[in-house]
Amino acid sequence: MFTLVAFLTLISLTIFAGSQLCSEILRTFPELCARFSIYLAELLAERQKLAPFIQVLPFCSRLLNLEILRVSGLASNQSFDPERIEHGSPSRFSGHHSNGGPMDLEVWSGMQTERMGALQTSSMGWHGNSSLPTTSVVKKVVRLDVPVDKFPNYNFVGRLLGPRGNSLKRVEATTQCRVYIRGRGSVKDSVKEEQLREKPGYEHLNEPLHVLVEAEFPAEVIDAQLNQAISILEDLLKPVDESLDYYKKQQLRELALLNGTLREDSPHRSPSASPFSGRQ
């Protein structure tokens, strides 16, 4: 009799504990979904920021893409090829919904980015930083003159832009500021520059070569972001002897990598002198 009572009591306690667990899961489920959505939004934003670095940081890009696939539930889909998303193929990916029907992952990606971006904006602070209070956003523009008068034969524009503009894209991605090269010599084709010089919107071509740094941030952080961008750009605008210019060697190596002509002559790579070091 005692054993039966104990058994029934144990069953009752198990049912009660199970109901409590279910209740707890149901209570926290919306919060878990919100956290999941925010995390996925952060991953998608991170992938967008990493775009200029894909050629030089292939493993970081691959790991990030795999994490996005894992979080979004696509990693278990055997028909989905992570290499396609890793290399940014413009073609539409072929996958399947959980119900077995076909799914257009290009459309899915766009919808996810838009939805997650809206969620992240509403859930996080400026540029995803929840620690910053919501304040009015201000805009500032700073001009940096390029010392072409002192170094007329130095290729400042090429040093700023880098292979396919990637160096300048990295400055913008790192500082979240917009950078514009303006003035005489800012157009690659000198004949085209002469044709544009007198047209509306190209008045800057009559001015000496310069760089404009534009930022839009809350008042409490805009100066710090601008100073970071200015510091990086000022480093890039300091002419360096070609034999000591490791940054240029880095750019040439990246260009060879992009063109598929890279040949590693030595197992030891040249040391990096990137102006981004220590500025994250």
CATH of the domain at 163: 3.30.1370.10
Report how many domains make up the chain.
2
Q: Within this chain, do residues 144 and 114 fall inside the same structural domain, yes or no? A: no
Query: What rounded mean pLDDT belongs to the chain?
Result: 70
Range of the domain at 216: 137-259
Q: Within this chain, do residues 107 and 200 fall inside the same structural domain, yes or no? A: no
What distances in angstroms separate CA 236 from CA 162, 177, 259, 267, one per listed residue? 11, 16, 24, 27
Task: Say which residues have a Cβ less than 8 Å from residue 7's Cβ, sequence separation at least 6.
Answer: none
Residue 129 forms part of a structural domain:
no
Q: Within this chain, do residues 107 and 64 fall inside the same structural domain, yes or no? A: yes
Q: Within this chain, do residues 144 and 118 fall inside the same structural domain, yes or no? A: no
Residue 131 forms part of a structural domain:
no
Q: What proportion of the chain, given as a percentage, has pLDDT over 90?
A: 15
Whether residue 51 is predicted with pLDDT greater than 90 in this model: the reply is: no
Mean pLDDT for 73-80 is 46
0.75 exceeded by pTM: no
Mean pLDDT for 225-242 is 89
Q: Quick one: which of 93, 152, 119 has its CA closest to 34? A: 119
Residue 266 forms part of a structural domain:
no
CA distance 69 to 54: 17
Q: Within this chain, do residues 146 and 173 fall inside the same structural domain, yes or no? A: yes
Residue 130 forms part of a structural domain:
no
Confidence of residue 98 (pLDDT cuts 50, 70, 90): very low
Whether residue 37 is predicted with pLDDT greater than 90 in this model: the reply is: no
Q: Within this chain, do residues 107 and 142 fall inside the same structural domain, yes or no? A: no
Q: Within this chain, do residues 89 and 21 fall inside the same structural domain, yes or no? A: yes
Residue that wins the pLDDT comparison between 159 and 18: 159
Confidence of residue 212 (pLDDT cuts 50, 70, 90): very high
Last residue of a domain, one of 99, 124, 149: 124
